[in-house]
């Protein structure tokens, strides 16, 4: 039947019958076409089921946020009100450098009508919330250790120099922060991040380099904004942080609460 059809086709289009054979697909060509189709179907099919051997829960499931907020020293209760007026005022009263920065901002706002100057002050205060957050963490943690390093010290790593945000020496007792168990006499190195979910996500790569400068127990403390990052990004970050020997703790306060607290504390 195929030969009859090809003969009719040759007569109609005036094609040499002897050359018609080359137009008939061979089994090899048919197989190649099927293979190409199947390969493209696998690539383009979003519903393709993952091979069970490639499934890795640690890569796709982040730690439950409630576990990342857990501690046995009352840290969460202390830091929860980080954005309150009383908390900011206490930080100002006990830290001359903080008081100077905020007082200078007050003076500018009292004596200017320039929108540009006001925007500049707002921008600087927004950046300064990280420093306020660090000081609040120091205040909340220092009574659990014999010593708090007064100044940041440069630590050399394979990625260059880094200065840990907070270093606490000689723990007074055993304690647990998130899944980090700290023994009596241990030191604790902390990186603190106070910012939006976009900011924290953008800092993840940098954080992984910073913790290389931690000499003992390593902890990263972030604001509650971390919860708003997609689970996949959180899972990947937590996995890489774990490989670095570091741990993650989520403070139960949003960064914008700290920002609002700073502005409320301004005497203008």
The answer to whether position 57 is within a domain reads: no
Domain shared by 32 and 76, yes or no = no
| CA–CA separation, 171 and 113 (whole Å) | 50
| CA–CA separation, 175 and 183 (whole Å) | 7
| Cβ atoms 180, 68 nearer than 8 A | no
> What pLDDT band is residue 255 in, cutting at 50, 70 and 90?
very high
| CA–CA separation, 232 and 49 (whole Å) | 18
Domain shared by 178 and 241, yes or no = yes
pLDDT of amino acid 268: 84
The answer to whether position 133 is within a domain reads: yes
Domain shared by 214 and 250, yes or no = yes
pLDDT of amino acid 157: 79
Tell me what the mean pLDDT of segment 14-39 comes to: 49
Tell me what the mean pLDDT of segment 218-240 comes to: 97
Domain shared by 213 and 257, yes or no = yes
Domain shared by 139 and 67, yes or no = yes
The answer to whether position 6 is within a domain reads: yes
Domain shared by 29 and 90, yes or no = no
Q: Looking at the 3D structure of the chain, how many domains does it have?
A: 2
Tell me what the mean pLDDT of segment 18-34 comes to: 49
Domain shared by 218 and 92, yes or no = yes
Digit-coded pLDDT (tens) for 169-224: 999 999 999 999 999 999 999 999 999 999 999 999 999 999 999 988 999 999 99
Domain shared by 165 and 199, yes or no = yes
The answer to whether position 54 is within a domain reads: no
Beta carbons within 8 Å of 212's beta carbon, 6+ residues apart:
157, 158, 159, 162, 244
| CA–CA separation, 252 and 87 (whole Å) | 15
Tokens found for residue 178 = 């998130």
**Cα–Cα separations (whole angstroms), residue 219 to 177, 197, 215:** 9, 19, 11
Domain shared by 73 and 200, yes or no = yes
The answer to whether position 49 is within a domain reads: no
Specify the pTM: 0.76
| Cβ atoms 157, 209 nearer than 8 A | yes
Domain shared by 39 and 70, yes or no = no
The one-character DSSP state at 80 is T
User: Which of these, 253, 66, 70, lies nearest to 178 by C-alpha position?
Assistant: 70
The answer to whether position 251 is within a domain reads: yes
> What pLDDT band is residue 7 in, cutting at 50, 70 and 90?
low
| CA–CA separation, 236 and 228 (whole Å) | 15
The answer to whether position 52 is within a domain reads: no
Using the predicted structure, report yes or no on whether residue 47 has a pLDDT greater than 60: no
The answer to whether position 195 is within a domain reads: yes
> What pLDDT band is residue 247 in, cutting at 50, 70 and 90?
very high
pLDDT of amino acid 6: 52
Digit-coded pLDDT (tens) for 76-123: 999 998 999 999 999 999 999 999 999 999 999 999 889 999 999 999
Strands 155-157 and 160-162: antiparallel
- Residue span of the structural domain in which 258 resides: 63-265
Domain shared by 108 and 211, yes or no = yes
Domain shared by 30 and 80, yes or no = no
Buried b / exposed e over 125-152, threshold 16 CB at 10 Å, is: bbebbbbbbbbbbbbbbeebbeeeeeee
**Cα–Cα separations (whole angstroms), residue 129 to 78, 100, 159, 166, 207:** 17, 14, 26, 15, 18
Using the predicted structure, report yes or no on whether residue 266 has a pLDDT greater than 90: yes
Digit-coded pLDDT (tens) for 120-169: 999 999 999 999 999 999 999 999 999 999 888 878 777 788 889 999 99
């Amino acid at each position: 039947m195929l030969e009859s059809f090809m003969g009719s086709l040759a007569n109609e289009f005036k094609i040499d019958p002897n050359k018609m054979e080359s137009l008939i697909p061979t089994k090899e060509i048919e197989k190649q076409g099927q293979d190409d189709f199947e390969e493209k179907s696998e690539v383009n099919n979003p519903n393709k089921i993952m091979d069970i051997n490639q499934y890795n829960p640690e890569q796709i499931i982040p730690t439950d946020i409630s576990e990342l907020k857990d501690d046995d020293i009352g840290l969460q209760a202390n830091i929860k009100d980080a954005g309150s007026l009383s908390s900011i005022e206490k930080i100002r009263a006990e830290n001359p450098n903080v008081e100077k920065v905020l007082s200078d901002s007050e003076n500018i706002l009292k004596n200017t009508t320039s929108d540009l100057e006001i925007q500049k002050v707002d921008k600087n205060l927004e950046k300064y919330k990280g420093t306020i957050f660090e000081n609040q963490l120091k205040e909340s943690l220092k009574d659990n250790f014999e010593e708090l390093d007064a100044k940041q010290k440069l630590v050399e790593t394979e990625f260059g120099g880094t200065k840990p945000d907070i270093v606490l020496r000689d723990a007074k007792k055993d304690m647990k922060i998130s899944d980090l168990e700290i023994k009596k006499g241990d030191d604790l190195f902390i990186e603190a991040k106070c910012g939006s979910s976009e900011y924290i996500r953008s800092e993840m790569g940098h954080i992984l380099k910073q913790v290389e400068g931690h000499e003992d127990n390593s902890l990263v403390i972030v604001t509650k904004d971390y919860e708003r990052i997609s689970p996949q990004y959180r899972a990947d970050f937590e996995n890489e942080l774990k490989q670095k020997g570091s741990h993650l703790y989520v403070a139960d306060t949003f960064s914008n609460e700290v920002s609002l607290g700073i502005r409320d504390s301004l005497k203008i």
